[in-house]
Amino acid sequence: MIVLVVRNPRPKPESIEKTTDQERADLFRTMTAYAGTYRFDGEKIEHHIDLSWNEVWTGTTQVRSVKREGERLVYTTPPFHFHTTEK
């Protein structure tokens, strides 16, 4: 499985060639991505992370609660420190 989460709105630099280091850092802060295998037991899903944007997560297991609301699946993540928005 692959997970890619991005915040909306995200910064949009003028061009690749003109992207500043600050803009790169802001882009990095507004997304997360990881991939690996998973196990689902009907109520929770365990993501076994093989690679990630944040190397700290690689080799870990991320657990999410899952419930069905009509035609939608709702994934809930326990609270965790993502990053700081202070500059």
CA distances in angstroms from 2 to 18, 32, 63, listed in the order given: 30, 11, 14
The secondary structure of residue 56, as a DSSP letter, is T
Average pLDDT of the chain, as a whole number:
89
DSSP state of 43: S
Residues present in the chain in total: 87
**Average pLDDT rounded to a whole number, residues 14-38:** 94
For the chain, the first-to-last Cα distance in angstroms comes to 33
Domain assignments of the chain as residue spans, ordered by start: 2-76
**In which band, very low, low, confident or very high, does the pLDDT at 83 lie, cut at 50, 70 and 90?**
low
Indicate whether 13 pLDDT > 50: yes
Instruction: Tell me the per-residue pLDDT of 30-68, one tens digit each, with 9 for 90 and over.
Output: 999 999 999 999 899 999 999 999 899 999 999 999 999
